[in-house]
Amino acid sequence: VTEDLIHDERITAMGLLAEAVGGLAARFSAQLAEHDLAPVEFEVLLRLARSPDGQLRMTDLSTQTGITTSGVTRVIDRLDRDGLVCRQACPTDRRSSYAVITARGRSRLEAVLPGHLALIDEWFTGRLQPDQLTALLDGLRVVRDAVRPDAAANELDPAAPES
Amino acid sequence: VTEDLIHDERITAMGLLAEAVGGLAARFSAQLAEHDLAPVEFEVLLRLARSPDGQLRMTDLSTQTGITTSGVTRVIDRLDRDGLVCRQACPTDRRSSYAVITARGRSRLEAVLPGHLALIDEWFTGRLQPDQLTALLDGLRVVRDAVRPDAAANELDPAAPES
DNA sequence: GAAGATTGAGTGGTCAATCTTC
DNA sequence: GAAGATTGACCACTCAATCTTC
C-alpha cells in the first residue's frame, strides 16, 4: 500500500514468466537426458535441422541461442565428438566455419522429438484453450520481437507470412 | 505439410516463450551487474525480502529457486561474504539454518529495484495493452501452477486471494 | 533411516587473449 | 583494423558422498 517496491506487480508478472519457463525446462531436461542430450545441445540440433542444408555458421548459432561464440565452440565440440554434427569450412570466407547436422544428429532428433512434443503439449499448450493460447502467444511475440530484434524474422519461430 | 516434427507449432510456441524470457534476462543482467549482483543473487535477495522476517530455510530457497541445495549453499556463501545475507541457526531444528537478508542486503535491493522495474516495464509489461497483459498472465499462471505445484500458493507471485 | 546442509570432484559456461582471414 | 573462431584461465553450478540432527 506504500511504495513497496518488492511487491510491485511487475515483479509478480516477471516471476510468473520466469517460473513457468523454468518449470517447463525442468520437465524437458529429464526426457532429453534419456536420449543423452543436454538442453543446449537439443536446441542447437533443432536450430540446425531447421536451417537450410542443416547448417549454420558458428556466429549465427551464437546470436540465435544467446550463447557466446566460445560457448558455441564447446557445444559443437561435444556434438562433433558424438557424431551428431560436423564442421565444414565455408568456401567463400575462410574465417567462417559451418556446423552441419549429420544423419546421426537428425535421427537423434527424431528419436527425441515425439516425446518432447508430448511434454510441451502436456504441460503447456494442451493446458490452454485455443484462444487463450493464441492470446498468450501474441503477447509473447510482442515481447520477443522487442527484446530480440534479430530473431524477429528468424528461426525457432518462423511466423511464416503464408508463403 | 507431412509429419514434419521439427516444424511443429508446439516447438514454435515453446521457442517463443523461451526466447522472450531469455531476451528479457539478458537485458536485466546488465543492470544487475552495475550493482554487482548476479541474476541468481538478485533472485535470492528478492525472495528473502519477500519472506516473513526476511528469512528462509536453505531447503526452501532451493525449491523456490530451482537451484540444488548445494547450489544454494554456494550462493549464500557469496552473499554472506559480501554482507548482504547472514546465516542463522534454526532454534527448533538444529539441522536447518536460515538465510536472513541484512540491512545491507535490503538497501542493495532498494538500489537495484527502481531500475529493474523500469526495465520490466520497458521491455515487457509496458509493451502490452492492459487486457493483453492480463490474458498473458492468466495463461502463464495456468502453466506455472501445473509445472510448479509447490510454488502455486507461494512466493514470487502471491496471487493473493484478497485477504 | 530420512532430512537438512555442506564439501570435493567434475562440468559447462563466460571472459579475455590469440590467431587467421577479410 | 575488424570479424570469425578458438583457447586458457576462471567461475558457478551439479552430483555424489558426508556429517549432523531428527
Of A26-30, A148-152, B67-71, B126-130, the one with minimum mean pLDDT is: A148-152
User: Is the pLDDT at A65 greater than 90, yes or no?
Assistant: yes
Task: Map residue A160 onto helix, strand or coil.
Answer: coil
Q: What is the mean pLDDT of chain A?
A: 92
By Cβ distance, the residue of A27, A109, A121 closest to B6 is: A109
Q: What is the pLDDT of residue A10?
A: 97
User: What whole-number distance in Å separates Cα of residue B56 and Cα of residue A15?
Assistant: 18
User: Is the pLDDT at A161 greater than 50, yes or no?
Assistant: no
Q: What is the mean pLDDT of residues A65-89?
A: 97
HEC letters along chain B: CCCCHHHCHHHHHHHHHHHHHHHHHHHHHHHHHHCCCCHHHHHHHHHHHCCHHHEEEHHHHHHHHCCCHHHHHHHHHHHHHCCCEEEEECCCCCCCEEEEECHHHHHHHHHHHHHHHHHHHHHCHHHCCHHHHHHHHHHHHHHHHHHCHHHCCCCCCCCCCCC
Cα end-to-end distance, chain A, whole Å:
52
B window 32-91: Cβ near strand C (< 7 A)? 57-59, 62, 69-70, 72-74, 76-77, 87, 90
Q: What is the pLDDT of residue A163?
A: 35
More confident residue, A23 or A1: A23
Residue A99 per-residue DSSP state? E
| Residues whose CB is less than 8 angstroms from the CB of residue A128 and which lie 6 or more positions away in sequence, other chains included | A136, B139, B142, B143
Q: What is the pLDDT of residue B162?
A: 40
Å: B94 CA to C2 C1':
15
User: What whole-number distance in Å separates Cα of residue A75 and Cα of residue A67?
Assistant: 10
Cell match 538465510: residue? B99
Q: Which of B16, B27, B40, B125 to substitute to test the interface with A, most A CBs within 10 Å?
A: B16
Residue type, A116: H
User: What whole-number distance in Å separates Cα of residue A131 and Cα of residue A133?
Assistant: 5
More confident residue, B155 or A33: A33
C-alpha cell at A104: 546421426
Q: How confident is the model at residue A153 (pLDDT cuts 50, 70, 90)?
A: low
By Cβ distance, the residue of B23, B155, B156 closest to A148 is: B23
User: What whole-number distance in Å separates Cα of residue B112 and Cα of residue B42?
Assistant: 9
User: What whole-number distance in Å separates Cα of residue A97 and Cα of residue A153?
Assistant: 23
User: Is the pLDDT at A86 greater than 90, yes or no?
Assistant: yes
User: What whole-number distance in Å separates Cα of residue A128 and Cα of residue A16?
Assistant: 16
Crossing angle for the helix pair B130-147 and A130-147, to the nearest 10 degrees:
110
Dihedral class, residue A128 (left if φ above 0, else alpha if ψ from -120 to 50, else beta): beta
Cell match 503439449: residue? A121
Q: How confident is the model at residue A108 (pLDDT cuts 50, 70, 90)?
A: very high
Cell match 546488465: residue? B30
* % of chain A beyond a pLDDT of 90: 88
User: Is the pLDDT at A116 greater than 60, yes or no?
Assistant: yes
Q: What is the mean pLDDT of residues A55-73?
A: 97
Test B24 with A143 for CB contact under 8 angstroms.
yes
Q: What is the pLDDT of residue B2?
A: 56
User: What whole-number distance in Å separates Cα of residue A33 and Cα of residue A112?
Assistant: 10
User: Is the pLDDT at A162 greater than 50, yes or no?
Assistant: no
- Mean pLDDT of each 10-residue bin along chain B, 163 residues long: 83 97 96 97 98 97 97 98 97 97 97 98 97 97 93 51 39
Relative to beta strand B97-101, strand A97-101 is unpaired
Task: Map residue A83 onto helix, strand or coil.
Answer: coil
Q: What is the mean pLDDT of residues A105-115?
A: 97
